[in-house]
Amino acid sequence: MSRFIFAAAISIAVSTAAAAQQVPGRDLLEFPLGTLAESPALTRLIAGGLWNPAAGALGATERAQIGFAALTTPYELGVESKLVSGAYKVRPELTLTASFAQASITDVFKTETDPQSLGEAIPYNTMVLSVGGARRFRAATAGLAVRYRFGSMDTSRTGAVSLDLGGLVDRAFGTPVRLAASTFLLSPSRSAEAATYLVGADVPLAPFDSVWALRAGASVQHTDGRGHEHYFFVTGRYRGVDASIGLSQSVVFGNVNRRIRLGLGLHYARYAVAVAREDGAAGIGASNQFLLTSVFR
């Protein structure tokens, strides 16, 4: 039934998107791709800084990083997302980043007055190509990313350019509190894109050292014309193992949804492998994520 509802919504949205000249597929990017169970504004798990350009900055001992992330949802939704990204340090304080994200939904067909499908499957997908840079200062990092997003929905195929800014402070006002803020798909043409604004903060619950650490935090993100999300999380690391748990509460078109996110990662040598799971909304099954990164020193 969820697919039939989705198909009907797409059939209606085709004419709406064409009239408003909006790039199709924006809702496919509302899944937290590459973040596992951490705050999108704060996470440095994946290279490239997709959600916060400042988070793409490499550490003092890192020369380059590449990463791959994938997300799948249950059959009822049928959403699949992938992300390939990289970062390269050209100067001790300057990192260049690039990423390519793609999301699509499969097997969606047109319907009219009953669930009987009509014709071939409707192409519904989007791609985001990003290039940018991040510069480290004493206790803060600033980032900039230029993005081009292309979307396809039935016969509607359009694209738009956006310019995103991000900042990340490792020690706010001399305290161990981290702060972050960024934009995602902030386009000069506001009618073409729905921009997302993200802020986040976390604080250590236990002292950081080379063996273990524990932090807790919260983040908020708002997307123009769609809704907002509040997220509360705890993340910890012991030697080469890290784990995260969080609670998300989102309001989209007046509907309130609460979901649990769980993440588990393993670091070995210059590689990191992680998996995550997020509860589904409205009784639909959970989505799953996979992440692989490699650091070059």
Number of folded domains in the chain?
1
Percentage of the chain exceeding pLDDT 70: 85
Statement: residue 82 has pLDDT above 90: yes
DSSP H or E stretch at residue 94: strand 94-105
Specify whether the CB–CB gap between 134 and 57 falls below 8 A. Answer: yes
| Cα distance between residue 226 and residue 199, in whole Å | 17
pLDDT for 271-284, tens place per residue?
999 999 998 765 56
| Cα distance between residue 110 and residue 119, in whole Å | 7
Rounded mean pLDDT of the chain?
Answer: 86
Identify the band that residue 113 occupies on the pLDDT scale cut at 50, 70 and 90. Answer: low
The reported pLDDT for the residue numbered 16 is 44
Low-confidence winner among 47-61, 88-102, 250-264 (lowest mean pLDDT): 250-264
The reported pLDDT for the residue numbered 10 is 47
pLDDT for 3-37, tens place per residue?
433 444 444 444 444 444 689 999 899 888 998 88
pLDDT for 63-79, tens place per residue?
999 999 999 988 777 88
The reported pLDDT for the residue numbered 210 is 66
pLDDT for 127-164, tens place per residue?
999 999 999 998 899 999 999 999 998 778 899 999 99
| Cα distance between residue 188 and residue 3, in whole Å | 34
Side-chain-side CA neighbours of 175 within 13 Å: the count stands at 10
Specify whether the CB–CB gap between 108 and 7 falls below 8 A. Answer: yes
The closest alpha carbon to 287, from 277, 296, 273, 275, belongs to 277
Percentage of the chain exceeding pLDDT 90: 60
Higher confidence at residue 167 or residue 2? Answer: 167
- The average pLDDT across 249-254 equals 81
The model's pTM is 0.86
Higher confidence at residue 5 or residue 57? Answer: 57
The CATH number that applies at residue 27 is 2.40.160.40
The closest alpha carbon to 128, from 191, 55, 186, belongs to 186
Both ends of the chain: CA-CA distance in Å? 50
pLDDT for 184-225, tens place per residue?
999 887 778 999 999 999 999 977 666 788 999 999 999 998
Domain span at residue 168 reads 2-296
Higher confidence at residue 154 or residue 39? Answer: 39
